[in-house]
Amino acid sequence: MIGVLLPEAVLAIGVLAVLIADMLLPAGRKSGAGVIGVAVCAGALIAAAVAGRGSVSDMIVVDGLAALARPGVLLASLLILMAGRCEQARDDGHPAWVALVLSLALGGLVTAAASNLVSLYLGLELMSLAGYALAGWRGGDRRSAEAGMKYVLFGGAASAVMLFGMSHVYGLTGHLDFAGIGGVFAQDMPLAASAALILAGVGLAYKLTLVPFHFYAPDVYQGAPALAVALLGTVPKLAAAAVLMRGLLYTVPPALVPPPALAWTLAVAAIASLLVAAFTAVAARDAKRIVAFSAIGHAGAVLLAIAALPERSAAAAAGFYLAAYAVSAIGALLCLAVLERERGSCALPALAGAMRQRPWLTAALCLFLFSLAGVPPLAGFLAKWGVLREALAAGLQPGHGILLWASLALLASTAISAWAYLLIVRAAVLQPATEQPPAARLAPGTAAVLALCALATVGLGLWLDGFAAFARVLLRG
C-alpha cells in the first residue's frame, strides 16, 4: 500500500514540514519554506515515477489514468512553486502559500486516483479548500477578496449538490466504490439513478468549468492572483478529467446506457462549453478574463474527447490535450502575473507598450497564446487535431452523429477564440507605449519556468508520437 500511495505520502509529509518551518523560521527569513516546497514536489514527482500500480481498499486505484494525471498535477504544481519562490519570497506568509499549493496538489492526486465516492469527495474538498484560500490570498485587495468569496460560494453550492447526488447513489446501490455501483446499475438503472449520477457529477463539472457550471470562472480568474489562477486552472482539470473517465467506464453500464446516448449527452455539454466560451471571450476586455473564458472552451474540447470513450485513443487524446493546455496556460498566466505586478492590472489598455518594455516576456506571452489558439506547430494545434480526429472517427459510427456537429463547433470556437487571443496580442504588441517605470530584471526562477513552458509548448507540438505514448501508458494500466 505504501508503494502505491508514495507520492501522496511525500506531499502529506511535505505539508507538515512546511508548516513546522513556518513556526520555526524567524520573521523575514521564511523564504526557506519555498525551497522545502520545491524539494517536496520534486520528490513526489520522482515517487510517482517509481511507485507501483494497484488499489487500496476499493478507495484509491493507480491505473493508467492515474499514472497519466499524477505527473501532470505534480509538474504543474512544481512550476507554480518555482515561480512563487521568486515572486513571493519576501512575503512572510509565503510558507502558508506553499502549504496551500502542496495541499491542492495532494487533493489533485487523491481525486485523480479515486475509485470510491468517499475518496473522490475528500480529494475534491481538499482541492477546493486550498483553492479558496489561494484565490483570496491578497486579502487587502478588493478584487482578490471578491474572487475568493465567489469561489467559496459557487464551490460550496457545487459541493452540496454533488454530496446530495452521492447520497442518493449510495441509497440506490448500497455501494460507494465505482465498480460496485456499476455492478448494481448493470442489472437495473432506474431514472432516479441517472439523476443521482448527474447530480454527483456536478462537482467534477465545476472543477472542469463546464457550462452551466462556469459562472464563477471569469470573476475568479480576473480578481485572483495570476499565479493562483495558473494553479486553479490546471490542476483541478487534470484530476477531474481522470476521475470522470474512470467513473464513466466503471459506473455507467453500456447494456443499459447505450454508448450513443452517453456520447450525445457529453457532446451537447461540450458544444455548449465551446460556443459559450468563444463568444464571451471576444467580448472581454481583460487578459485574465479572456484566458478564463478560453479555459471553459478547452474543458469543452476535453469533454469532446471523452465523449468518444471507451476507445483508449480517446482517453490518450484527452490527456495530451490537457498536457498541452497546462503548459501553455501556466506560461501565459505567469507572463500576465509579471505584467500585472508592474502595471497594476491585466486590462487590455494596461498592457499597451508591453513589447517595448519587456520584449522577451511579451514574445513568450504571444507564443503561449498562439498555442492556446491552436496555431501550428505548437502544442495546442496538435492537441486540437487529436481531439478532432477522435471525434470525427467516433461520429462516423451509427448513432454518434452528434459528434460530427461537435467537431464543427470545435472548429468554429477555435477560430472565434483566436480573435480573442489576438486582442491581447494587439494590446501588448501594437498599442503605443504608455509611461511606465523601467522594468526590473526578471527573477531567475520565473525566467526558468517560462523557458520550460516555452520548450514544452514547442516540444509537445512537434511530438507526433505523443498520442501513442499516452495510449501505451493507459494500456499498462
Per-residue pLDDT reduced to its tens digit, 229-256: 888 889 999 999 999 988 888 888 777 7
Would you say the pTM of this structure is higher than 0.85?
A: yes
Residue 276 in any domain: the answer is yes
Give the per-residue pLDDT at 329: 92
Q: Would you say residue 384 has pLDDT above 90?
A: yes
Q: Would you say residue 259 has pLDDT above 80?
A: no
Q: Are 287 and 336 in contact (CB under 8 A)?
A: yes
pLDDT higher at 472 or 439? 472
Residue 375 in any domain: the answer is yes
Q: What are phi and psi of 87, to 5 degrees?
A: -75, -30
Per-residue pLDDT reduced to its tens digit, 391-448: 888 888 877 788 899 999 999 999 999 999 999 999 888 877 666 666 667 777 788 8
Residue 292 in any domain: the answer is yes
CA distance 92 to 374: 40
Residue 131 in any domain: the answer is no
CA distance 152 to 199: 19
Task: List the domain range (segments joined by +) for residue 406.
Answer: 260-477
Q: Would you say residue 263 has pLDDT above 70?
A: yes
CA distance 247 to 210: 17
Residue 327 in any domain: the answer is yes
Residue 307 in any domain: the answer is yes
Q: Are 278 and 413 in contact (CB under 8 A)?
A: yes
Give the per-residue pLDDT at 2: 64
Cα-based distances in Å from 4 to 15, 57, 71, 328 = 19, 12, 14, 30
Residue 376 in any domain: the answer is yes
Total domain count, the chain: 1
Helix 379-395 crosses helix 402-425 at what angle (to 10 degrees)? 160
Residue 320 in any domain: the answer is yes
CA distance 128 to 108: 10
What's at 35, amino acid-wise?
V
Per-residue pLDDT reduced to its tens digit, 45-54: 998 888 777 7
The residues that bridge with 62 in the sheet, in sequence order, are 54
Per-residue pLDDT reduced to its tens digit, 58-107: 788 888 888 889 999 999 999 999 888 765 555 545 788 889 999 999 99
State the DSSP string of 128-145.
HHHHHHHHT--TT-HHHH
CA distance 195 to 190: 9
Q: Residue range 347-353: average pLDDT?
A: 84
Q: Are 167 and 193 in contact (CB under 8 A)?
A: no
* Phi-psi domain of 97 (left: phi exceeds 0; alpha: psi -120 through 50; beta: other): alpha
Contacts of 120 (CB under 8 A, 6+ apart): 111, 114, 243
- % of the chain beyond a pLDDT of 70: 94
Q: Are 264 and 402 in contact (CB under 8 A)?
A: yes
Look up residue 13 and give its three cell numbers.
509529509
Q: Mean pLDDT, the chain, as a whole number?
A: 85
